[in-house]
Amino acid sequence: MDRAEMARAMRAFLAAIDQRFPGDDLERTPVRVADAWVDDLIAGYDVDPAAEMTWTPAPPGCGPVLVRRISFSSICVHHLLPFFGRIGVAYLPAERMAGLSKIGRVADALARRMQTQEKLTGEIADTLAHTLAPRGVLVLVDAQHTCMTLRGVRKERGRMTTLATRGLYEEDRASRAEILSLLTAGTAGG
């Protein structure tokens, strides 16, 4: 990423607004904005999500593993505005079990890119399916999009929920319903 070019573009953006803010330090704003984008908002481009995943052998007869309420934030590729919410992940191990914090790291690596929620949901499922080779994966993402709450229709309570399934949870409706019930129990949207 070209941090200097981002700062130059931000300086042009501020000039196009043609507003002056007396007493505010706008001189460093373009650099601060570029730093925020590169170091935080889209830092996931520099992270290989599969490399974040470590695993241990799964014990024989291991049941489903569920991780709920993983907080995330991302940037909508359409308006460059944030969306944020929670991710719920369930997988049925075959031979590998993920390190617990690694699922959050995978979600972060993928969320810290310019995204759509639908793509993010599928990418998390694909990464887990590829690295863990489980019998099934289910990913549920519930988010609030500021492109819907701050602009356009301005529906403050509007949320979007997306679902991606792989393996058993894609093929077997009863298994999918059971795991979704466990994943959303006592929560609003995972």
Contact 106, 52 (CB under 8 A): yes
pTM: 0.92
Query: Minimum mean pLDDT among 10-24, 47-61, 86-100, 108-122: which range?
Result: 10-24
Q: Indicate whether 157 pLDDT > 90.
A: no
190 to each of 88, 131, 161, 181, 186, how far by Cα in Å? 5, 23, 9, 10, 9
Dump pLDDT digits (tens) for 10-45.
999 988 988 766 667 778 899 999 999 999 999 999
CATH architecture assignment, domain 54-184 = 2-Layer Sandwich (3.30)
* Domain coordinates in residue numbering, the chain: 3-41, 54-184
